[in-house]
Structures are given as C-alpha cells and as structure tokens.
C-alpha cells in the first residue's frame, strides 16, 4: 500500500448494500471515505466525468474501491442507456481520474457469464442481459488504470443499509412474516457473505494483486437450496416457501441459469481454498 501516512480508502457506492461491509473492512486498514450519488460523506454523479475527477482530486485516495453501480437487472434491460452511463461510463470516469500510485478495485458481477453450464472461468464471459453487458464494458474501462483489480462476485448477508435488502434478508423477512416465497430450483450461484467478500478485497489489495478474478464461494447451490439453508441456520420455519422455476416470472430480463464461478484463479492467488457456500451461510 502507499507509503504516505495513513491509507485513505475511497469507497464509491458506499451508501449501497455492500458499502458498509467494505467500509468496515477498510476501517481496519486506513481512513475511509464513503461516496454516494445522493447520500454519503461525499456526493457525486460519477457518470459525469468532471464530477468524478473533482471527487477523486478532493479525496486524494490511496485506494479506490468502486462499488457504485446500477444493479437492477430488469431496470438495466428497460433502460440500457442509463445502465451504460452508470455501469460503464462512470467506471471509465473513475479509472481516468486515478491519481498516480492509487489502486483501483472494481466490484463486478457473475452476470458477465453466459447461459451455459458453470462453474465459469475468467475469459469465458458472454453476458445475456444489458446489466451484464454494461458491467463487462465497465470492467474493460477499469483495466485501463495501472494495477486495476476487477472482482466478479455475488453476495448476501444482513443489510446494514436502510431501504436495501439482500437475498438472504428477503428470504428471512418473507418466511418470518409467513408470506409465500418462491425459491428457484433451477438457478445456481456461488455467492459469499458480504463480510467475507469485503475482507478478501483488501487482502488482495495488500498483496498487490491485479487483474480479473471470480470472487465467490468454492462450490455453489441452487437458489432453493440456498434459501432453505438460510432458513435452517436462522431457525426460521420454511412452511411458506415453494420451490419453483425462474421461467415462471414473465417480463424479466434474460438471465443465465448457472452463474456458479470457478474460483481456482483466486485460490491460487490467495494460496488457500475459498469457503463453501454452506460455510458462508453458517456465518449468518
């Protein structure tokens, strides 16, 4: 990490779901500044290049973790230009504004992978929706910054952000309220608990690792297995859950059914195996 004084870590998307977890892990390593578009210590619309330059010049960070995005998959499909502005252009603006010696970490998504059987390896991307395409274009823009680290991920865990719920929150809230909830048996993924994810982000930065990595659990589950495991760990009855198929919901953006990621490259970089998804759920 940088030699001058205490590390200053700027987290864009600091007011989102993942932001508080990144902030907690960052605070163990340096001083933290959280940026949002409408809220946060610093506010900037990063799709505006001048605003991105101003934010980064004022903050003078040693590390930027760029987690700002428009992560609404169906919204991105309806408004691809807005998806491009936030997920590609804003990332390009941040990358172009990096001060010399500042490390850029970009949080990306498993949605860059195709609708083919996983686990998917880095180098096999072919997104099936506008969200995935805009994030993949953002990754390419980020890699223009020297030493950039791109982390494709998916995550869950208790939200610390008002108005935002993770998938595990949604499952538990629904079951606790005895509301019907359909858990997809035909969709596979390999997310991490947000606390695990955030720690590994900074471990990789400290090890000065650059490039593109899948950052997920080492195996994965279907969303229905995941939902039932979450309920079991929380001691919540799953009586109102039904197992269904993702194709039951009309009007959604296309999605790949198997988003499990191969984490071999990451495990080699870290020198240890990643946790299984069952181990991650146990952390709830």
Residues engaged in binding ligand NAP (CB under 6 A): 12-19, 36-39, 44-47, 67-71, 86, 90, 107, 109, 135, 153-155, 164
Closer residue to ligand NAP, CB minimum distance, 12 or 196: 12
Q: What is each CA distance from 110 to 45, 126, 156, 234, 270, in whole angstroms?
A: 25, 11, 13, 26, 20
Nearer to ligand NAP, 37 or 257 (CB): 37
| Distance in Å, CB of 239 to ligand NAP, minimum | 26
CB of 111 to ligand NAP, least distance (A): 7
Whole-angstrom distance, CA of residue 221 vs CA of residue 262: 13
Q: What burial letters (b/e) apply to 137-171, b meaning 16+ CB within 10 Å? A: bbbebbbebebbbbbbbbbbbebebeeeebbbbeb
DSSP state of 88: I
Angle at 96 between CA 95 and CA 101, to 5 degrees: 70
CB-count exposure of residue 72 (10 Å: 0-12, 13-18, 19+): middle
Q: How far is the CB of 30 from ligand NAP (least distance, A)?
A: 20
56 closest CA partner among 4, 98, 85: 98
User: How is residue 232 annotated by DSSP?
Assistant: H
Nearest in space to 246 (alpha carbons), one of 217, 224, 267, 231: 224
Residue with Cβ nearer ligand NAP (16 or 118): 16
Closest CB 7 distance from ligand NAP, rounded Å: 21
Q: Count other C-beta atoms under 10 Å from residue 41's C-beta.
A: 14
CB of 156 to ligand NAP, least distance (A): 8
Minimum distance of ligand NAP from residue 122's CB (angstroms) = 16
Residues with catalytic annotation? 131
**CA distance linking residue 40 with residue 177, whole number of Å:** 32
The nearer residue to ligand NAP, 17 or 128, going by C-beta atoms, is 17
Shorter beta-carbon distance to ligand NAP: residue 2 or 170: 170
Q: In terms of CB distance, is 192 or 238 closer to ligand NAP?
A: 192
| Alpha helices (H) in the chain, listed in sequence order | 19-27, 49-59, 73-78, 80-83, 90-96, 130-142, 167-176, 194-206, 223-234, 264-270, 277-282
């Amino acid at each position: 990490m940088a030699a001058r004084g205490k590390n200053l870590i700027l987290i864009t998307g600091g007011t989102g779901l993942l932001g508080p977890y990144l902030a907690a892990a960052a605070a163990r390593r340096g001083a933290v500044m959280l940026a949002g578009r409408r809220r946060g210590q610093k506010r900037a619309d990063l799709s505006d290049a001048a605003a991105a330059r101003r934010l980064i010049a004022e903050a003078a960070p040693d590390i930027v973790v760029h987690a700002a995005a428009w992560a609404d998959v169906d919204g991105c499909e309806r408004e691809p230009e807005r998806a491009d502005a936030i997920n590609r252009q804003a990332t390009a603006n941040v990358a172009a504004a990096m001060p010399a010696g500042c490390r850029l970490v970009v949080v990306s998504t498993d949605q860059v992978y195709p609708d083919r059987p996983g686990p998917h390896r880095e180098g096999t991307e072919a997104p099936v929706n506008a969200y995935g395409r805009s994030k993949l274009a953002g990754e390419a823009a980020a890699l223009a910054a020297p030493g950039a680290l791109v982390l494709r991920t998916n995550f869950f865990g208790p939200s610390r952000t008002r108005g935002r719920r993770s998938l595990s929150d949604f499952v538990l809230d629904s079951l606790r309220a005895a509301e019907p909830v359909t858990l997809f048996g035909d969709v596979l993924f390999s997310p991490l608990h947000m606390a695990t994810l955030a720690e590994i982000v900074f471990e990789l930065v400290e090890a000065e690792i650059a490039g593109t990595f899948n950052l997920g659990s080492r195996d994965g589950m279907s969303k229905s297995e995941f939902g039932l495991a979450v309920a079991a760990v929380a001691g919540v009855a799953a009586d109102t859950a039904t197992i269904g198929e993702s194709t039951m919901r009309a009007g959604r953006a296309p999605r790949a059914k198997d988003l499990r990621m191969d984490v071999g490259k990451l495990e080699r970089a870290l020198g240890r195996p990643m946790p299984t998804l069952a181990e991650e759920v146990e952390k709830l």
